[in-house]
């Protein structure tokens, strides 16, 4: 994780935070940014996996490093958040081969050849995934820091079970911390997402 890694666009519209020139994050196969071995780190090993529908290759110094760090620092995908680094808070939730996992506990080397989805990879007919639309419509967020984790956990749920019952919804929301909302509107959003999923084609079908 050197200063040669990918940069992502900053908050330029809202206060003039100067950022480095943006480069493509979800890159074409074989041309992913951040793949160049670091200066003086000839021991870096290549890691290839499918990320948000694209094949990527990244050179990591330590295959035992958390996937979270590789996503955020090497690949510049900062939508996935770090809240505790010990797998408790759920802010870093991503989907690996269909399962919601805390990326802070997922060894990067073990996603070799697997399918990883992050919040940056979500999309839907109107631009947003139905889960994201639901959080917008039902005010399911405040500070928004835990939101990508909640969204990914619910995306994984709906992919596995498009019509989960109330108990299952609560079980999934119960797995992620939120310090702002008291969960009322996150649960509303989850129920809304189920309803929207029924009326919209799933992202799987779109692919």
User: Is 192 a binder of other proteins (CB under 8 A)?
Assistant: no
Q: Using DSSP, how many helices (H) and how many strands (E) does the chain show?
A: 6, 5
Q: Looking at beta carbons only, is 88 or 113 nearer to other proteins?
A: 88
Among 91, 111, 153, 158, binds other proteins (CB under 8 A): 91
User: Is 184 a binder of other proteins (CB under 8 A)?
Assistant: yes
> For the packed helices 147-160 and 130-137, what is the interaxial angle rounded to 10 degrees?
130
CA dihedral 84, 90, 92, 97 (to 10 degrees): 140
Among 33, 76, 124, 164, binds other proteins (CB under 8 A): 76
CA dihedral 176, 177, 180, 185 (to 10 degrees): 30
Please state, in angstroms and rounded to a whole number, the distance separating the CA atoms of residues 1 and 70. 8
Among 47, 75, 108, 173, binds other proteins (CB under 8 A): 173
Q: Which two tokens stand for residue 170?
A: 């609560």
- Residues forming the site for other proteins (CB under 8 A): 1-3, 7-8, 10-11, 13-20, 40, 65, 69, 72-73, 76-86, 88-89, 91, 118-120, 122, 128, 132, 135-139, 141-148, 151, 170-171, 173-175, 177-187
């Amino acid at each position: 994780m050197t200063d040669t890694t990918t940069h992502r666009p900053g908050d330029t519209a809202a206060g003039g935070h100067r950022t480095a020139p943006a480069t493509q994050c979800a890159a074409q196969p074989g041309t992913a940014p951040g793949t160049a071995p670091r200066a003086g780190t000839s021991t870096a090993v290549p890691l290839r996996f499918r990320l948000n529908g694209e094949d990527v290759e990244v050179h990591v110094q330590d295959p035992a490093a958390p996937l979270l760090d590789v996503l955020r620092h090497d690949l510049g995908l900062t939508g996935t958040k770090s809240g505790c680094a010990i797998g408790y808070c759920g802010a870093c939730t991503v989907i690996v081969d269909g399962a919601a996992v805390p990326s802070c506990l997922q060894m990067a080397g073990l996603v070799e050849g697997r399918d990883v989805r992050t919040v940056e990879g979500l999309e839907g007919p109107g631009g947003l995934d139905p889960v994201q639309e639901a959080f917008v419509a039902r005010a399911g967020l405040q500070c928004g820091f835990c939101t990508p984790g909640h969204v990914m956990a619910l995306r994984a749920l709906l992919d596995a079970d498009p019509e989960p019952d109330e108990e299952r919804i609560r079980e999934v929301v119960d797995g992620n911390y939120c310090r702002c909302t008291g969960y009322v509107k996150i649960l509303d959003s989850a129920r809304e997402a189920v309803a929207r999923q029924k009326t919209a084609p799933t992202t799987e079908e779109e692919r």
